[in-house]
Amino acid sequence: MSTEQVARLLTDFDRQEPSKGRSRVVPFDHTLHSNAKAQPKPAAPPEDDAYERGLSAGYATARTEYERKLNDEKEKFDVRLVEERSDLLNETAARIADNIEEVGKQLEAKIAGVTARILEPLISSAVQKQAAASFVEKLSSITGDSRRPPFESPGRPK
């Protein structure tokens, strides 16, 4: 049973039962179930047409204003999106460039160390050979020069 029916029952509980044969358990609402049909409403007076026109014009104005503001916000969002995307790309590119530079420096240091270890024995032997060749050349130029007297040691007899 609905609350409305219970409320009707409570209000009608103490009332004397009419001579009609209405049930006290569920009151019958004659106004809802009568055969009389509701009369159609007459057409609205001409003022209502002006009201409707004003209402639709106001609605159209509000809608265009809303759409304009929505488009403005979309444009601002698109501009902001482009700026933030370019900032993000620039930051990422700078970070990647720094990482590549750091890795390049590390690789250069490792290659220099390996090259130094490989070339050190070769260079030291080449330097020793060059020093010996230079010494021999200087010595031969001193001893083979006719303008200079041969090297004599002071303790040796002639």
Could you tell me the pTM of the whole model?
0.39
Which of 11-15, 91-95, 132-136 has maximum average pLDDT? 91-95
Spacing of C-alpha 40 from chain mean position: 61
C-alpha 138 chain-centroid distance: 75
For residue 72, pLDDT beyond 70: yes
CA dist 111 and 138 (Å) reads 38
* C-alpha span between 150 and 87 (Å, rounded): 83
pLDDT for position 151: 58
